[in-house]
Each structure stands twice: as structure tokens, then as C-alpha cells.
Amino acid sequence: MTFGAISALACTLLPFVPLGASAQSSVQLYGVVDMGVSSYKGDGAGSRQMVTSGGNQASRLGFRGREDLGDGLVAGFDMESGINADTGTGQLSNTNNQASGNSGGGGLTFNRKSFIYLQSKQWGELRLGRDYTPAFWNTFLFDPFRVGVGASTHVLHGTTVTGFRASNSVGYFSPGCSGPSCPGFFYQGMAAFGENGAGPDRQDGNLYGLRVGYGGTNWNAAAAVTTTRNRIADDYTSMNIAASYLWNGHRFMALAAENRTGNRLAAVGNANRVRYWQLGAEWKVGNDSIPMSFMRLTRNDGASSSSQKYAVGYVHNLSKRTAIYGTYAYVDNRGKLNLPVASGAVNGPIPTAGGNASGFDIGMRHSF
């Protein structure tokens, strides 16, 4: 290698090298690659077999940086991209918290997280950018599956793109809490902006949310509410309350939630309210675990529509970073509901109204 090549390489790597004790800066590359084989079916819609990404954890690639500024003050950033590992493509992001802002299909986007923060031990943490909404955290943390065919996140009301994340946001975490689960009493707030011009829809995509909770030694609980402005729907509101308890290494979870709009919408069966609750557990077997859950959902569409979802899996940890897993789920739809067994980046066949759906994932996950 020539001296010129060595110099160029050094210049490339220099920003990623810690700057020493005075600044105590660092940048970290991290991620997850999760792929499996899946088979889903729905009554009246046939079956579908495929190689899928994210059956146990969402595949992702991220960069995070942190600088200790002294006197308990820290600055940093987190940029995380969702990846379809089975095809090597990136996932959609959103620029304005509205359906019109979906962008980046196939290209690399930092759709999962893209924020900068300033953190103080005394005053808490302030974030600017794209981040998870307050109401999302409970539906994620208190679901033993979180992703894949066993997850219940696909029951979220389909009228907003802010069910998981919001762009153009300002977020705040209480002191001692910089993540979704914190010791003692904690609170989190968020405001985000659709950034529209003048007109009747100028407030569409604006979002406001709050989450409060308490983290104990063996238990934690939290309640959250998030509202996204939308003129046609007369706004979208998601609210939930959840708790978990740890006993001899086994974790038990409960969640109750409601998603609603002011107006009834044809896209969701002429309904304006979806209520659901879920019971879940992660049963430890040595270093392995058996996740299991039961979810029931009802919708006020005038047809007594409901769905029940049963899921069970097994996760065998080969090491701290690598695991193999299998998950099976079954959905029992009633009335006008036709929930597939899985949705999101990979949809299961959508059954006929009142029809059932089922499927399984078998895969391997590696984190780095």
C-alpha cells in the first residue's frame, strides 16, 4: 500500500476514532440481520411461501455517536436504517407524517431513527429529528414477539403513518431516562410537524404525545397517548396502558389499547374505534425462551366484528449475538374483519371477511 493510500485511509477513518480523554467521543456501527422462511395463508386467499426479513428482530443498520461535554452534559446522534435483508433493499421513510410523504422505496433511508440529542443528568434529554412516538413504545415493549408473524402491531389503526414513528419531531425524556424503559418514575413528550403550506390541510401530520410510567426492580408499567392531526379523519388518537412482571426469569405482560378517529372511515369498515387487549409471556428455558401471546380486538363497525390472535414460538440462543427461532400464529376473524396473520413489509394473504389466517416463521438472527 502506498503512502498516499495510507493517508487517504487514515483521513476516512479519522472521524470514527475516539478523540481522547478530553472529548471522550465515539461513533459506533451496529445492526441486526434476521432472515427466515415463512409460510402464510388466509381463508379464500390461498397461501404464500417466501424468504422473509425480521421474524425475530427487525433487520437494521445503524450509526450512533456520543460526546461527553463534561459536567454531566452529553451530545450525540442516532441514525438507523430498516433493511429488507432478503433483498438487500431499504425501507420507506416519511417526510411529513402523512401518506403523501412516503419516500425512499428500495433505497437506503434512516427511516427507523434519525435524531440528534442533548442530554443532562439534571435536566433530561432533548431530541430533534425522526423518532418513535410515545404511544408506540407500549405496543412494542409489552408484546413478547414485537415483530414477525407472532406480533400484534398489525392491529394498529390503518389511517396514519405515525403509528410507529414521526418525522420533524421534538422529543423530551425526563432526567435519568433516555429510552423506553427507565428506573423509577419517568415521563416522555413529543411534538412533531407535518410542515404543510397554507390551506385547509395545513395542520395534517402535526402530532402530540405523552408517555408516563414507573420502572421497578421486577415490574414496570406505563400509559401513553398520541394524537395525529388529520382533517378528513377528524384526527387519529392512539392510547394504551401496559404492565409487566418478572418472576424467576419469566416475564408476564398485559396491554390494553384503543385507536380511534373522529369520523367513521370506509377504509376500516366504516368504523372509528378499534379496541384491543393482549396477554403475553416470555418463559425462560435455560438460555432459551418461549414467547407466547393472546390478543383480542373489537371494532365498532356495526357488525360485531372481532379478531383473536394466538401465537407461540421458541428462541434458541446459540450465543449472545446469534439465535435460531420458530413462531406459529393463528388469527380467528369474526364479522367484517379480515386481518392477515402478518402485515407490514411482508403481508400474509388477506382472508375473506370473517375468514381465518395462520402462518409460521423459521429463521436465524445475528446482531452486531
pLDDT of residue 158: 56
Q: Which residues, including other chains, have CB under 8 Å from residue 247's CB and lie 6 or more apart?
A: 218
In a domain, 105, yes or no: yes
In a domain, 9, yes or no: no
Domain with residue 300: its CATH number is 2.40.160.10
In a domain, 43, yes or no: yes
pTM for the full model?
0.89
Sign of CA dihedral 317, 320, 322, 328: positive
Beta-strand relationship, 322-334 and 357-367 = antiparallel
In a domain, 2, yes or no: no
Q: Evaluate if residue 15 carries a pLDDT over 70.
A: no
Mean predicted confidence (pLDDT) in 202-206? 96
In a domain, 1, yes or no: no
pLDDT of residue 10: 40
Tell me the C-alpha distance between 127 and 133, whole Å: 12
In a domain, 282, yes or no: yes
Kindly report, residue by residue over 97-146, the tens digit of the pLDDT: 998 999 887 889 999 999 999 999 999 999 999 999 999 999 999 999 99
Kindly report, residue by residue over 139-181, the tens digit of the pLDDT: 999 999 999 999 987 665 456 889 999 999 999 999 988 777 7
Percentage with pLDDT > 90 across the chain = 82
Mean predicted confidence (pLDDT) in 269-298? 96
Residue-averaged pLDDT of the chain: 91
- Reported as a pLDDT band with limits 50, 70 and 90, residue 255 is very high
pLDDT of residue 251: 98
Mean predicted confidence (pLDDT) in 303-314? 96
How many structural domains does the chain have? 1
In a domain, 23, yes or no: no
Q: Which domain holds residue 136?
A: 29-367
Kindly report, residue by residue over 60-82, the tens digit of the pLDDT: 999 999 999 999 999 999 999 99
Mean predicted confidence (pLDDT) in 251-276? 93
In a domain, 6, yes or no: no
Q: Evaluate if residue 16 carries a pLDDT over 80.
A: no
- Reported as a pLDDT band with limits 50, 70 and 90, residue 345 is low
